[in-house]
Amino acid sequence: MAKDLFYLGSYKNLDKLFEKIETAKAPEAFTTAFLTEVIGLKSTSDRPLINMLKKMGFLDGTGRPTESYGLLKNKKVARAAVADGVRKVYAPLFEANEKANALPTEELKGLIAQVTGSEKNIVDQIAKTFNAIAKNADFSNAAKPDANKPDNGETPPPPPIPLLPPSSLRSEFHFNIQVHLPANGTEETYLNIFNALRRTFS
């Protein structure tokens, strides 16, 4: 089934967008006013960048910065965070080819056409948008630390292997039987009790 993929009419200011997000104070809400007055992108053609940030998971539906937005302000992981956002927005491409970000332009266009079934000019716009965003991304690292690794970065030791008993050992069972003899019983009574036990366990 054909999938719709995101594209921008103008992507020339993507580099500036991510640079300014890194240095500017995170807003309560990423509005058009914040885009124009703080980020400095005043053209109406740049307004769809807000929607792009939402699709990438950096803003919620109301424009409020998410936890991932904070990663954009950390120079060490910002490019990896952008890569995570690209994988989210263009998930159908990565499902079809997990190395979509490394494809030459013509092969990328072929993959986009395969996934979307769109006409050539739309495919071109999607490819250009994809490449413009991916230029700001680092696909070799994950933005968030692996929860399975300890904070010191060391590889955790493997879990202990449960010890099994050697196959040569035999399990033996011991029964302790207590017999309460009546104090006023006769010798014949005692003999009958022990004979009954002998017949039961012989």
**In this predicted model, what pLDDT tens digit does every residue of 38-74 receive, in sequence order?**
999 999 999 999 999 999 999 999 999 999 999 999 9
The residues spanned by each domain of the chain are 14-134
Q: Give pLDDT, residue 150.
A: 42
The whole-angstrom separation of Cα 111 and Cα 132 is 17
Q: Which residue is listed with tokens 């490449």?
A: 131
β-bridge partners, 59? 65
Other C-beta atoms within 10 Å of 93: how many? 24
Say yes or no to pLDDT of 195 above 80: no
Dihedral, CA of residue 69, residue 75, residue 81 and residue 85, to nearest 10:
70
**In this predicted model, what pLDDT tens digit does every residue of 31-44 receive, in sequence order?**
999 999 999 999 99
Say yes or no to pLDDT of 102 above 80: yes
SS3 track for the chain: CCCCCCCCCCCCCHHHHHHHHHHCCCCCCCCHHHHHHHHCCCCHHHCHHHHHHHHCCCECCCCCECHHHHHCCCCCCHHHHHHHHHHHHCHHHHHHCCCHHHCCHHHHHHHHHHHHCCCHHHHHHHHHHHHHHHCCCCCCCCCCCCCCCCCCCCCCCCCCCCCCCCCCCCCCCCCCCCCCCCCCCCHHHHHHHHHHHHHHHC
Highest-confidence range of 14-18, 140-144, 186-190, by mean pLDDT?
14-18
> Mean pLDDT, to the nearest integer, of 70-93?
96
**In this predicted model, what pLDDT tens digit does every residue of 129-148 receive, in sequence order?**
999 999 999 999 765 544 34
Q: Give pLDDT, residue 183.
A: 65
pTM: 0.68
The whole-angstrom separation of Cα 41 and Cα 36 is 5
Say yes or no to pLDDT of 103 above 80: yes
Q: Give pLDDT, residue 197.
A: 67
**Residue type for position 200:** T
Q: Which of 112-121, 124-133, 157-166, 193-202 shows the lowest mean pLDDT across its residues?
A: 157-166
Q: Give pLDDT, residue 152.
A: 46
